[in-house]
Amino acid sequence: MMSKAKPAAALTANGLRAIIKQALDEAIEASRKQTKKAPDNYYKATERRLYALPDLKDKVAKDKQYLQDLIDHGLQSHSKDIVRFQRTGRRLSSEDILEALIRDTKAKIAADEHEINLIEDALKPLTNDPYFRALEGKYFEQKTDEELGKEIPCDPSTVRRNRGRLVHRVAVRLYGVDAV
C-alpha cells in the first residue's frame, strides 16, 4: 500500500510541474509569435507602447491586489482561473492549483513590470528636453496638440514635430539600430 501512495504523490508533483512547464512553453511561444508580428514601423510600435504605459501600471496594481487576495484568502470555490490547471485524468489538490496560480500571477506581474521599466528607462534621459511635455501630455494624459501648445507655449505644429523627434529617440532606445 505504501508503494502505491508514493507514485500518486509523485504523479501529483510531476503533474503540477508538467502543467507549469506547459504554461511557460505556451507563454514563450506566444511571445515568439508576437515578436514575429512586430511591425516594421518602429515609430508606431513605440507609440503603442507609450499609450499602453498607464494601463500597464494599472494592470500591475490590480494583479498585485489579486495576488494578495490569493495569498490571504486562497482559491474561490468556483474560480475560472483554475480551469486551465485541471486536465482530464489528472487530479490536483487545491494547494497545488493555488501554488500554480500564485506562480502564474507573479510571472505576469514580472513581465508587465519589465515592460514598464524598459519604457521608463527609455524616457528618463529625455525628461530634460524642453518639449518632453509634448510626449508626456499626448501619450499619458491624452491631451491635444492645441492644449499642449498653450501649456508649452508654442504652435501645435511645433508640438507635433518635437513629439515626433522624441518618439524617434525613444524608438531607438527600445529597438536599437533597427529603428534608425
Number of domains in the chain: 1
Tell the residue number behind the cell numbers 486536465, with chain if given. 87
Q: How many residues does the chain have?
A: 180
Q: 89 CB contacts (<8 Å, ≥6 apart)?
A: none
Average pLDDT, the chain: 83
What single-letter amino acid sits at 174?
L
Q: How far is CA 175 from CA 59, 119, 167, 180, in A?
A: 24, 11, 12, 9
Question: Looking at residues 158-177, what average pLDDT do you find?
Answer: 93
Please check whether residue 77 is in contact with residue 70, taking contact to mean a CB–CB distance below 8 angstroms. Answer: no
Residue 25 pLDDT class (50, 70, 90 cuts): confident
Could you tell me the pTM of the whole model?
A: 0.68
Mean pLDDT of 103-117: 94
Domain range for 151: 2-179
Q: Which grid coordinates belong to 129?
A: 528636453
pLDDT given for residue 86 in this prediction: 55
pLDDT category at 35 given cuts 50, 70, 90 is: low
Q: Tell me how many helices (H) and strands (E) the chain has.
A: 6, 0
What confidence tier does 1 reach under pLDDT thresholds 50, 70, 90? very low
CA 8 to CA 48: how far, in whole Å? 48
CA distances from 38 to 56, 110, 122, 159, 173 (A): 19, 21, 19, 28, 16
Residues 6+ apart with CB under 8 A from 152: 130, 131, 133, 134, 158, 159
* Confidence at 34, pLDDT banded by 50, 70, 90: low
C-alpha cell at 70: 490569493
Better pLDDT: 40 or 148? 148
Please state which of the ranges 58-62, 76-80, 134-138 shows the lowest mean pLDDT: 76-80
- Residue 145's CB is within 10 A of a number of other CB atoms, namely 19
Q: Are 137 and 151 in contact (CB under 8 A)?
A: yes
State the Cα–Cα distance between residues 41 and 158, nearest whole angstrom. Answer: 23
Maximum average pLDDT range among 4-13, 90-99, 160-169: 160-169
